[in-house]
Amino acid sequence: MNARPPRKPRDPVDGVLLLDKPVGLSSNDALMKAKRVFNAKKAGHTGTLDPFATGLLPLCFGEATKFSQDLLEADKTYEATVHLGIMTTTGDTEGEVIEEREVDVTREQIEAALARFRGPISQVPPMYSALKRDGKALYEYAREGITLEREARPVTIHGLSLVDYQAPHLKILVTCSKGTYVRVLGEDIGAALGCGAHLNALRRVQVGSLSTERMITLEDLQAHPDPLSLLAPVDALLSSFPSVELTLELAKRFLNGQRLALGKEAVTVPSEMGRVRVYHEGKLLGTANLQEYAILAPERLIAAAQ
C-alpha cells in the first residue's frame, strides 16, 4: 500500500481578512475555506453570522487571533429586511411559517414603533440560537420541539433607522451592542406593529471600526494571485485605541513583560488612562493598560516582535 504523501506544513500567517460571507455558509465553514487559501497555522473569526446572513466577517490569522476578543465585544451595524405579516419558527427565512396576518401599517406607525427600541432594551434570546443550557445548545432543544424559559438580557440599540418601506418589506439600519439578536428585534418590531414579522435578509456592514471598504468575497479570494496582499495588518483590530511609541530600550523591557514608568521617560503619553497600542519604530509590539502615574502594564504581546 502506498503511503500518503506528507501534509504540507502550515504557514505562519499574521493579519486580518475582511470577508464578505455569502448566504448559506456558516461562519466556521467560511473560516475554514479562507484558512485553506492561506495554508495558515492559526485562524479564528470574530463573531458568528447566521448561515442566512451575509456581509462583514473579520477573520484573524496568527498573531491577530490574540486580539479577536476585542471585536467580539465591539458594536456592530447591520442592514436588515423585516418581512411583516409572516412569523416563522426561527424568526428568519430558515424556519417554517407558523402564522400569517394582514399588514396594514403606515410609515408613521413604523417610525413610532422603531422609537420604542432605541437605547437600552431587554431581549429574550431565541430558542434557535447557540446559547447553551446544561451543555446543550438551545437550537438542539428547539429541534426536538422543546421550548425552555429564557431570561431577558440587556442590550443597547445605538441606532435604528428606517431605510425603506415597500409593504410588506421593511428595511432598517441597526447599530447595536454585542449579544443583540437582530432577528429577535425584527420579530419584536412586528409584534409592536400588531402584524408579526420575520427577518427576510440580514447583512453586516460594520464591526467596531472595521467597515466593508476592504471586504472581499470567497470567490475573489480563492482566485487572487497574491492572497497575502489582501490581509490588513494586525493593528487594524486596534485602531480605536490610542498609541504609545517606545524607545528601543523600553521596547525590550516591554516585550519582557515589565511594567514601565513612562512619566520618567521621554515618551509621549495619551491624556487618558486605559488600553493602548504599543509600538517601536512603527512596529506593533502588543497592547497594554496605561494606568495612574503613566504606568504602562503589558497586556497581550506580539510574539513576532520579540
Radius of gyration of the chain (CA): 23
Q: Is 144 exposed, middle or buried, given 0-12, 13-18 or 19+ CB atoms closer than 10 A?
A: exposed
CB 39 within 8 A of CB 79: no
Q: Is the peptide bond before 227 cis (omega within 30 degrees of 0)?
A: no
Contacts of 245 (CB under 8 A, 6+ apart): 267, 268, 279, 280
Question: Which of these, 181, 160, 169, lies nearest to 113 by C-alpha position?
Answer: 160
| 299 vs 289: CA distance, rounded Å | 7
Residue 105 in grid coordinates: 401599517
SS3 per residue for 252-273: HHHHCCCCEEHHHCCCCCCCCC
Please provide residue 24's backbone torsions phi and psi, each rounded to the nearest 5 degrees: 90, -5
Catalytic residue list: 50
Q: What is the DSSP letter of 25?
A: -
